[in-house]
């Protein structure tokens, strides 16, 4: 599959050293050595357009973030059991991006740990266990999160305290979707209660990324949040994917006019440096804080806090959320124009630079074009444009470039998709 001798040896070495649980992207794996903005470079110096990596949202190897990390690492790295200004400056700057009701910040190293901590706190506060998630959700890698991440497949069983609801799919669900989604959430908590499982939380990615990217209609989440609260559950917004400007706003939940009880975040928070965490309404933390001494060796360390501060500075000063809104709208327009010429494109949807493109065999039946989507993803990789796909039929392109994507780079993406689809 186009692998050089050296690459073939690396694949073999990976399997020998890392074992069978890891997976590579693409039929023809990519060996990257350097990044800059939305560009990535392989070991031979070939340039790729990154339309998928949702961690380096400020752009790969952003010099200001790199400098902040290096400066603090050269000075001191400890943890949160000593006084240090930087974690306080960071908490202040981060909390300032949220509604005033979210008054405390806690730090971890991964999004999984942030969700795990959110669940511990929510359980302590509600006294309940029942969690409702969407049917292709992904919330993390630990045992407590794998059991509520149905996108991991049948090999990873859901917990008994977990109920799923169908994703808020307006393409298939039509105008009734918001009401149906809210009713499904209410029914899921009622179903758990019938088995003696008391409500704890509704946990959703506010862009429903792994379900297939479902942003519309803006505001639809409000009814589901209301249903969860009526059942006695908290609303936890998982902003690991939509957060930090990706949707064109700072946070994905803003699109829905809702105020979460807890917000979890990660991925772009340190632009590649492992930094994650949560913000929460202070009253919800009281019981947990009274019972638990929370210490996370690396979470909130001075180097991570410096990285986080630099990210917030870059986001603001470079206007990256605004750029995501503008270039995202431009990409959506371009994809819409492509859809008018290519029958395989059934739906185009997105907010900012979080975009889903659903490929179907037939616009009437909406039969997923699963194999074709795999072919397109691999053909784009051969033309050095990197994306991937998700959804129950693996037929929904997920487009999530760094937020600094330019119009010229958006054109390159559109032209390359056009070229591949036009050649079929």
Q: Would you count residue 139 as binding ligand PMP (CB under 6 A)?
A: yes
Residues 303-342 that bind ligand PMP (CB under 6 A): none
Q: Residue 225: how many CB atoms within 10 A of its CB?
A: 24
> Which of the ranges 135-143, 150-158, 254-262, 344-352 carries the binding residues for ligand PMP, by CB under 6 A?
135-143
Q: Are 389 and 209 in contact (CB under 8 A)?
A: no
- Nearest approach, Cβ of 407 to ligand PMP (angstroms)? 27
Q: Would you count residue 288 as binding ligand PMP (CB under 6 A)?
A: no
Q: Would you count residue 238 as binding ligand PMP (CB under 6 A)?
A: yes
Residue of 257, 157, 177, 246 lying closest to 207 (CA atoms): 246
> Which of the ranges 138-146, 162-170, 304-312, 414-422 carries the binding residues for ligand PMP, by CB under 6 A?
138-146
- Nearest approach, Cβ of 182 to ligand PMP (angstroms)? 21
φ, ψ at 200 (rounded to 5°): -125, -60
Nearest CB to ligand PMP, comparing residues 264 and 395: 264
Among 228, 240, 285, 309, binds ligand PMP (CB under 6 A): 240
Among 35, 140, 270, 299, binds ligand PMP (CB under 6 A): 140
Q: Are 343 and 323 in contact (CB under 8 A)?
A: no
Nearest CB to ligand PMP, comparing residues 65 and 278: 278
Residue of 194, 209, 203, 309 lying closest to 261 (CA atoms): 203
- For 113-188, strand residue ranges (E) read 130-134, 162-165
> Which of the ranges 17-25, 111-119, 296-304, 313-321 carries the binding residues for ligand PMP, by CB under 6 A?
111-119
> Which of the ranges 45-53, 110-118, 226-234, 285-293 carries the binding residues for ligand PMP, by CB under 6 A?
110-118
Q: Would you count residue 266 as binding ligand PMP (CB under 6 A)?
A: yes
Handedness of CA 124, 129, 132, 136 (dihedral sign): positive
Q: Would you count residue 400 as binding ligand PMP (CB under 6 A)?
A: no
Q: Would you count residue 57 as binding ligand PMP (CB under 6 A)?
A: no
Q: Would you count residue 388 as binding ligand PMP (CB under 6 A)?
A: no
Nearest CB to ligand PMP, comparing residues 184 and 238: 238
User: Which residues are CB-neighbours of 38 under 8 A, at least 6 positions away?
Assistant: 49, 50, 51, 59, 60, 401, 402, 404, 405, 406, 409
Q: Tell me the DSSP string of 253-291.
A: GGGGT---SEEEE-GGGGBTB--EEEEE-HHHHHHHHHH
| Cα 119 to Cα 106: distance, rounded to the nearest angstrom | 13
Q: Would you count residue 206 as binding ligand PMP (CB under 6 A)?
A: no
If you search the block for the tokens 């609801």, which residue do you land on? 165
Q: Are 249 and 35 in contact (CB under 8 A)?
A: no
Nearest CB to ligand PMP, comparing residues 102 and 114: 114
- Nearest approach, Cβ of 139 to ligand PMP (angstroms)? 5
Q: Would you count residue 112 as binding ligand PMP (CB under 6 A)?
A: yes
> Which of the ranges 94-102, 238-246, 253-261, 327-335 carries the binding residues for ligand PMP, by CB under 6 A?
238-246
Among 50, 205, 347, 358, binds ligand PMP (CB under 6 A): 205
φ, ψ at 385 (rounded to 5°): -125, 120
Residues 337-366 that bind ligand PMP (CB under 6 A): none
Q: Are 310 and 65 in contact (CB under 8 A)?
A: yes
Q: Would you count residue 212 as binding ligand PMP (CB under 6 A)?
A: no
Q: In the numeric block, which tokens belong to residue 326?
A: 């503008």
Residue 341: which H helix or E strand, with range?
helix 320-341
Nearest CB to ligand PMP, comparing residues 114 and 310: 114
What residues make contact with ligand PMP under the rule CB under 6 A? Answer: 110-112, 115, 138-141, 205, 238, 240-241, 266, 276
């Amino acid at each position: 599959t186009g692998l050089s001798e050296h690459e073939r040896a690396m694949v073999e070495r990976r399997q020998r050293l890392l074992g069978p649980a890891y997976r590579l992207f693409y039929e023809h794996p990519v060996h990257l050595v350097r990044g800059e903005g939305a560009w990535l470079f392989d070991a031979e110096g070939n340039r790729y357009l990154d339309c998928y990596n949702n961690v380096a949202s400020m752009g790969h190897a952003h010099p200001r973030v790199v400098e902040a990390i290096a400066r603090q690492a050269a000075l001191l790295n400890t943890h949160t059991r000593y006084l240090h200004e930087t974690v306080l400056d960071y908490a202040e700057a981060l909390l300032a991006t949220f509604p005033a009701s979210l008054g405390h910040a806690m730090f971890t190293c991964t999004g999984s740990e942030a969700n795990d901590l959110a669940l511990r706190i929510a359980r302590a506060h509600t006294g309940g266990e029942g969690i409702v998630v969407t049917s292709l959700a992904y919330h993390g890698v630990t045992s407590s999160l794998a059991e509520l991440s149905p996108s991991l497949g049948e090999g990873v069983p859901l917990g008994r305290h977990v109920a799923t609801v169908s994703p808020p799919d307006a393409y298939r669900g039509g105008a009734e979707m918001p009401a149906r989604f809210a009713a499904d959430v209410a029914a899921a908590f009622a179903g758990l209660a019938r088995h003696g499982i008391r409500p704890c939380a509704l946990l959703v990615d506010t862009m429903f990324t792994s379900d297939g990217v479902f942003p519309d209609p803006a505001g639809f989440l409000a009814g589901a949040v209301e249903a969860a609260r009526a059942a006695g559950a908290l609303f936890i917004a998982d902003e690991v994917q939509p957060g930090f400007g990706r949707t064109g706003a700072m946070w994905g939940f803003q699109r829905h006019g809702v105020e979460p009880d807890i917000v979890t975040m990660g991925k772009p928070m340190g632009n590649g440096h492992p930094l994650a965490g949560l913000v929460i309404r202070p009253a919800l933390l009281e019981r947990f804080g009274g019972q638990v001494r929370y210490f996370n060796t690396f979470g909130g360390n001075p180097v991570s806090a410096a990285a986080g501060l630099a990210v917030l500075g870059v986001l603001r000063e470079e206007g990256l959320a605004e750029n995501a809104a503008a270039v995202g709208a431009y990409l959506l327009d371009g994809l819409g124009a492509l859809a008018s010429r290519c029958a395989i494109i059934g739906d185009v949807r997105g907010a900012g630079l979080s975009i889903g493109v659903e490929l179907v065999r037939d616009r009437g039946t909406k039969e997923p074009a699963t194999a074709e989507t795999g072919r397109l993803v691999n053909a784009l990789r051969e033309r050095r444009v990197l994306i991937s796909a998700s959804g129950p039929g693996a037929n929904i392109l997920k487009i999530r470039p760094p937020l600094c994507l330019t119009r010229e780079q958006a054109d390159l993406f559109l032209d390359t998709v056009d070229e591949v689809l036009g050649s079929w």
